[in-house]
Structure 1
Amino acid sequence: MSSLSFPPARAVGRGAAWYRGDCHVHSVHSDGELHPEELAVRARAAGLDFIATTEHNSAAAPGAWGHLAADDFLIVLGEEVTTKTGHWLALGTNPGQVVDWNHQVRDGLIDQCLDQVHRVGGLCVAAHPHAPYPSGDFRFPFGGFDVVEVWNGLWTSDRPWNADNEAALAEWGRSLAADIQTGSWRPAMGNSDTHLEGQIGIPHTVVFAEELSTEAILAGIGSGRSWIAESADVGLSFTANVEGRVAGVGERLIAQGGRVEVRAAVHGVPWGTVRFHTDRGTVHHVSLPGDGPGAVQWDTTAEDSAFVRVEVRHPNGDVAALSNPIILT
């Protein structure tokens, strides 16, 4: 079998950097309309550094993807595990590995299915938890899953945001305070769920990784060192600073007794609104200028805020970008 039957697990990349990627993509090898070659071309044109192959209940076909990887483009192997009571993504599976999909809530098999992925170092993502069709409405408990896909692009038509995503974001946001308190919070991610022309990268996840490799990308996603972008036109920088100590998205900042400066810098969302959220809900919002990038600062303390996360919304209320939290202790 050719060494290009499956894509390599590491690309040259840019070293430790922010990488943009879409981890929910379908080709003609399941129910998508585009061939792998077309998807790779469109992913690169959309400004992506990596994608994941997530065909329904099947592994990436040998020879379909290996030749499409490049020094600056990583292809992660995966599967969309499509059950009767919810869909989930198995990311970072081995070549040819198929994760069992013949299970549902009432049979109690979910933990052993998740374990099939965790044993090979992969991540399990609860996919589109409020998708508007019976099997897409996620019924499994989130415990055992590593990440929640709060933004899914498939059912958004000509808008990249809809009520199903709003419900998923609200559910995830409500759980953050309790989950952070117990040390078991699950990061959010966003993916296009591409099936058709023009969908890839809308939205996608921007991940800080030590290198452009499957292991490093999954580590960044699993630790919450990431934010979600509507497209590559949108940029977000989000940090918290106390007495010279700085933390970024997904990180923990020791801030007891100090005043925390929270900063967000945004481009690509003219006339938009930046909203800071904590365990107390929405605590601050500022409008962005219409003629270019904007920066926002807000102050808090660890006593007042267990975490801070940011949402950037268009004037019509649709999300353009959102982050995982910075945790304050």
Structure 2
Amino acid sequence: MRVGSTGLWGRTLSNLSFPPTRAVGHGAAWYRRDCHVHSVHSDGELTPEELAVRGRAAGLDFLATTEHNSAAESGAWGHLAADDFLIILGEEVTTKTGHWLALGIKPGEVIDWNHQVRDGLIDQCLDQVHQVGGLCVAAHPHAPYPSGDFMFPFRGFDVVEVWNGLWTSDRPWNADNEAALAEWGRNLAADIHTGSWRPAMGNSDTHLEGQIGIPHTVVFAEELNTEAILAAIRAGRSWIAESADVDVTLTANADGHVAGVGEQLTTYGGQVEVQAAVRGVPAGTVSFHTDRGKVHRASLPGDGAGVVQWNTTAKESMFVRIEVRHPNRDVAALTNPIILV
């Protein structure tokens, strides 16, 4: 379904204020973002104004509005964008056999949600998003409610939301997220081998007060604009944090050649030094994961700031990624992989 010159409920698009696709004056940098939030215009309790204020307070540089099955009120966000705060238009497509996010769709555009696995319409809907340069995200694959379990194949989707904050209550991590992370991790080696791997994403799925930014994804983009952000997410140039208090840097170095998260490092068969620098996880642990599973684990000091190193080769490890966990085993941060060749 597409909305033309008039929006849903008869509101004309010319009367709505849609956010610009670029935040002026912000170049290549790491940006914090939450791409799954709901306002009073679907089933959230906060207004767009309240979400923008709380998003800024949570340390976010941008967010995506993803109302359920509707873009009718996207125009309510236009006046909230600023030179240092980007807003991306999106939709949570709430189907009968799983939910997914359409990010970067056009003003007033609505993706049809009246489909399910058995009718074979998913590819057509994904194509609609891709044709406008948008991103398709498999949302909360193991959500604990009817239609929340994701039954579609991941083929055709760009990203998997392995960490969703809606049902985590007073903790930022739960068993449903653990299952989603494990599923994504198990498939990663085969997907990288075939050149079709899907990056991991984390979002708050905000509906209530106190949820925004818990968790969120930190993205390295060439500019703070919609096109650059979506390209960076699609490429996996990102990692997930439970809050802005957590900071992670992961690099791999082979004879002076350095790569970061989401990048590929040519090693020429030599040794690779992988280094993880972490802040904000007191007495936590850092674990390194490759196509052989968990291969190394180290503890962080009591103040939560530390650097952990581990050596490997491309022959031993197709890729490397890390998970940072609290002493109670809840995840505090995780990265997408660095690919070694």
- TM-score normalized by the length of structure 2: 0.95
Classify 1:2/1:107 alpha carbon distance in 2 versus 1 (closer, same or farther; 3 Å).
closer
C-alpha offsets along residues 41-74 of structure 1, whole Å, 9 cap, x if unaligned? 0000000000000000001515410000000000
Tell me if 1:129 matches 2:141: yes
Q: Which moved more, 1:252-261 or 1:124-133?
A: 252-261
- For 2:87, the aligned partner's letter is I
- For 1:299, the aligned partner's letter is N
- Residue segments in structure 2 that go unaligned for 5+ positions in a row: 1-12
- For 1:99, the aligned partner's letter is I
Q: 2:314 aligns with which of 296, 302, 310?
A: 302
- For 1:138, the aligned partner's letter is F
Between the aligned residues of both structures, percent identity stands at 84
Partner in structure 2 of residue 180 of structure 1: 192
**How much has 1:134 moved relative to structure 2?**
1.8
3-state DSSP class of the match of 1:156? Answer: coil
Partner in structure 2 of residue 262 of structure 1: 274
Q: 2:168 aligns with which of 151, 156, 162?
A: 156
Partner in structure 1 of residue 108 of structure 2: 96
**How much has 1:2 moved relative to structure 2?**
6.3
Q: 2:332 aligns with which of 297, 320, 323?
A: 320
- For 1:165, the aligned partner's letter is N
Q: How far apart are the structure 2 equivalents of 1:243 and 1:62?
A: 49
Q: How far apart are the structure 2 equivalents of 1:14 and 1:59?
A: 27
User: Where do 1:195-206 residues align within 5 Å?
Assistant: 195-206=207-218
Partner in structure 1 of residue 131 of structure 2: 119
**How much has 1:325 moved relative to structure 2?**
0.2
3-state DSSP class of the match of 2:30? Answer: strand
Partner in structure 2 of residue 14 of structure 1: 26
**How much has 1:13 moved relative to structure 2?**
4.9
Q: How far apart are the structure 2 equivalents of 1:106 and 1:113?
A: 14
Number of residues of Structure 1 aligned to a counterpart in Structure 2: 329
Q: How far apart are the structure 1 equivalents of 2:174 and 2:230?
A: 27
Q: How far apart are the structure 1 equivalents of 2:254 and 2:26?
A: 29
C-alpha offsets along residues 62-121 of structure 1, whole Å, 9 cap, x if unaligned? 541000000000000000000000000000000000001010000000000000100000
Partner in structure 2 of residue 281 of structure 1: 293
- For 1:19, the aligned partner's letter is Y
Classify 1:54/1:62 alpha carbon distance in 2 versus 1 (closer, same or farther; 3 Å).
closer
- For 1:117, the aligned partner's letter is V
**How much has 1:257 moved relative to structure 2?**
1.5
- TM-score normalized by the length of structure 1: 0.98
- Residue segments in structure 1 that go unaligned for 5+ positions in a row: none
Does the Cα contact within 8 Å between 2:239 and 2:334 map onto a contact in 1?
yes
Partner in structure 1 of residue 40 of structure 2: 28
